[in-house]
Structure 1
């Protein structure tokens, strides 16, 4: 570049720099003025704890290094949740971790959608007599407030999401679990409910925060008698194992997390031979084929950020007698929800073409669910089946692949189908937790389960029925 062109370019670079500096979002908390407020009121834009007629919502915000901005605010929220958990009705706590380009600002779209979700859930009385409390985990997902230039923050915000998750978020989630767990251990396991949800880079935060916790849970299994094994598992194992879950479920929606981050957890689960029929799901990963951000853009971003070198190797593994080769570059450049070897279920709109492969081919429901096992066609081709990690009965990890009818794009995670799925996850976990306690007879378990969540015979939990019921209930709230 000659000196004349360099002289002309300097003002352009200076202008771009000034625009970027002017568009920077501060690394600061938004909820700083009042500790709590009864809404609606002016304080509801700055209070750390909002009290609405049908629900509450608390905020815990973290710095780019993962440190909580205000420990007093966090402790005040935990004390309030503890009070509600020990009240006559108990508490249902829903934690939401937002993703890229979002924060805890009053006008943030994710925050507004989370409020609407809480309101719909409360109006539909899905929590019973429990007090519904939302916990919004805020971090600087949006560091640049410029429509085009903000896309350049992908790598920085992804790294920040890892740092945030490895900081104080783990403490907050563990303290929530401890606050809401039954005391004594023999008490009603569903007196209180805890469900944690992460979206996009919020999935990075949540998985980073809970990865080692979940890994410890699947390593530290409890052996149970063969009465809790399925017939196939009794024939193979004699005894089954069960691992303690985290609350009533951890759910990642369109997570922008590379598969390599979850590989250790998946491998420990894949190597376990038999899980008990009473094993609740530890982790749900829900990703949509209509999500261009994680299916295509993420891969492009990772290709630019992950160097292709001889240090990335093929990994030859044997799971349950099947040999599978995993490639580290694919693990680094593909999200966990789009990584075919992990897939355990597909839920798409029912068509004449996929009808024979649906788990319930004679059903009239619009949704077609397919179990992704090598001997059950529909999820993938025979060539792809060779790459798939085999799935055992009642495994605690579930990777569900959906379509535009379920989640229409990257941000469509507050619709009634997603809400119905979350509600069914909680109900299934509640059923399994009660069923695992020896003092509850099968008759008692069934009597305390929502009838809409049972099969037609009324003697087993039926996830599709439960899902359909809650979707219809939430649609009526729109």
Structure 2
């Protein structure tokens, strides 16, 4: 009797879990262009034009990737790329990629989709005002959707943390890496022709989306950095993947970031016009990566061996445990932190056309103000180092998902302007 009851219980539990699984289908299945109006939401379209004819106009595209890192439909990506190739041959583009994190997807109405749309509209407005004397770049947004949730049941879905972490790395290693490289190719189309304003590419990732972006970008960033300062008769600015990569509360180990940190530390000075190439922003109040992440990593790393890392590049001593770096999330590992971001003591309107000058003229030991925020170098790295691992004040990002706050989006727009202007 007990055996029969146990079997019935297992069958019922399995049925409940299967019914609770999130959709594993493509959300944006119509690959034709669609203009969003009050009457047409373009809900199923993978290519959408928003706010047509206004200073907030932008093009939004969707590319969706499955749990194994494969494109859900290659035609979806190719239709978007074809549209962008055509646009890039005629005008300069400012391409912004956003990769969402845990609990999100590419469904109509997803909070990340809506927040990304608002930020694109604001960025388009900034771009229009910056280039009033010439044609501004057309703002393009690419929303990379993947199954950031595997179970829909509230509270129970928190157990999907490690399952989704593994999926995020698969997304980054495979389908997304191809997409980003193809977008970089589009960015370069018209730049050899010296247009008035060059096309640019910015990549943002949040949470596990940040892990996916880093998986796709890390080796390329290392290659570009080495190519800028190898055994040559000249040294140049360090290049990046596209023009700027920003990771928001990313959920990956500090140990994965350590090789890039070492590369940048081994170069003792940078040119004044060296722009940021990789910026990691992590809230001190992000408890998901601060506490849950290392708790899970204790079991994942139990049988691994670790050493103590000791460095003294450019007379900057550094010593830390590999084990600690392998368990802690990158943004909370203080040994590899470079900056802190706080609310400015006296907030002012963001002056976007001065962003590059503000960055170039920074001095050792001094904070620099970008509108309503203040960036302070912890003096672990030299100024103008292109890789920033920033601890963010909890007043600016209150928790793991609170990354679309106006102050943070303003700060990121300032980073975009200083990294993409001529």
Q: TM-score, normalised by structure 1?
A: 0.75
Shift of 1:425: 0.8
Aligned residue runs from structure 1 range 90-105, under 5 A? 90-105=92-107
3-state SS of paired residue (2:180) = helix
Q: 2:15 aligns with which of 12, 15, 18?
A: 18
What residue number does 1:119 align with? Answer: 121
What residue number does 2:357 align with? Answer: none
Q: Deviations over 1:423-457 (max 9, x none)?
A: 111221235xx3xxxxxxxxxxxxxxxxxxxxxxx
What residue number does 1:292 align with? Answer: 287
What residue number does 1:68 align with? Answer: 71
Residue 84 of structure 2 is aligned to residue 81 of structure 1: yes
Residue 312 of structure 2 is aligned to residue 318 of structure 1: yes
Confirm or deny: 8 A CA contact 1:182 1:189 kept in the other structure.
no
What residue number does 1:139 align with? Answer: 146
Larger mean Cα displacement after TM superposition, 120-129 or 91-100: 120-129
Indicate how the Cα distance of structure 1 residues 38 and 364 shifts in structure 2: closer, same or farther if over 3 A, else same.
Answer: closer
CA distance in 1, matches of 2:43, 2:334: 43
CA distance in 2, matches of 1:189, 1:289: 41
Residue 272 of structure 2 is aligned to residue 271 of structure 1: no
Q: Deviations over 1:12-62 (max 9, x none)?
A: 444332221101123332111343322135561111111222211101111
What residue number does 1:402 align with? Answer: 392
What residue number does 1:448 align with? Answer: none
Q: 1:419 aligns with which of 400, 406, 409?
A: 409
What residue number does 2:49 align with? Answer: 51
Indicate how the Cα distance of structure 1 residues 252 and 15 shifts in structure 2: closer, same or farther if over 3 A, else same.
Answer: same
Q: Deviations over 1:365-399 (max 9, x none)?
A: 864432111xxxxxxxxxxxxxxxx4123211011
What residue number does 2:334 align with? Answer: 340
What residue number does 1:442 align with? Answer: none
Shift of 1:179: 0.9
What residue number does 1:174 align with? Answer: 181
Shift of 1:11: 4.7
CA distance in 1, matches of 2:367, 2:268: 27
3-state SS of paired residue (1:198) = strand
Larger mean Cα displacement after TM superposition, 122-131 or 72-81: 122-131
Residue 367 of structure 2 is aligned to residue 369 of structure 1: no
Q: 2:155 aligns with which of 128, 148, 151?
A: 148
Larger Rg: 1
Indicate how the Cα distance of structure 1 residues 13 and 42 shifts in structure 2: closer, same or farther if over 3 A, else same.
Answer: farther
What residue number does 2:32 align with? Answer: 35
CA distance in 1, matches of 2:370, 2:256: 39
Indicate how the Cα distance of structure 1 residues 83 and 33 shifts in structure 2: closer, same or farther if over 3 A, else same.
Answer: closer
Larger mean Cα displacement after TM superposition, 342-351 or 121-130: 121-130
CA distance in 1, matches of 2:129, 2:12: 53
Aligned residue pairs: how many?
394
CA distance in 2, matches of 1:203, 1:276: 28
Confirm or deny: 8 A CA contact 1:60 1:137 kept in the other structure.
yes
Shift of 1:251: 0.3
CA distance in 1, matches of 2:310, 2:173: 30
CA distance in 2, matches of 1:222, 1:113: 38
CA distance in 2, matches of 1:424, 1:400: 15
CA distance in 2, matches of 1:157, 1:421: 29
3-state SS of paired residue (2:331) = coil
The unaligned stretches of length 5 or more in structure 2 are 347-363
Confirm or deny: 8 A CA contact 1:143 1:153 kept in the other structure.
yes
Indicate how the Cα distance of structure 1 residues 175 and 139 shifts in structure 2: closer, same or farther if over 3 A, else same.
Answer: same
What residue number does 2:359 align with? Answer: none
CA distance in 2, matches of 1:15, 1:42: 42
Indicate how the Cα distance of structure 1 residues 206 and 126 shifts in structure 2: closer, same or farther if over 3 A, else same.
Answer: farther
CA distance in 1, matches of 2:168, 2:339: 27
Q: TM-score, normalised by structure 2?
A: 0.85
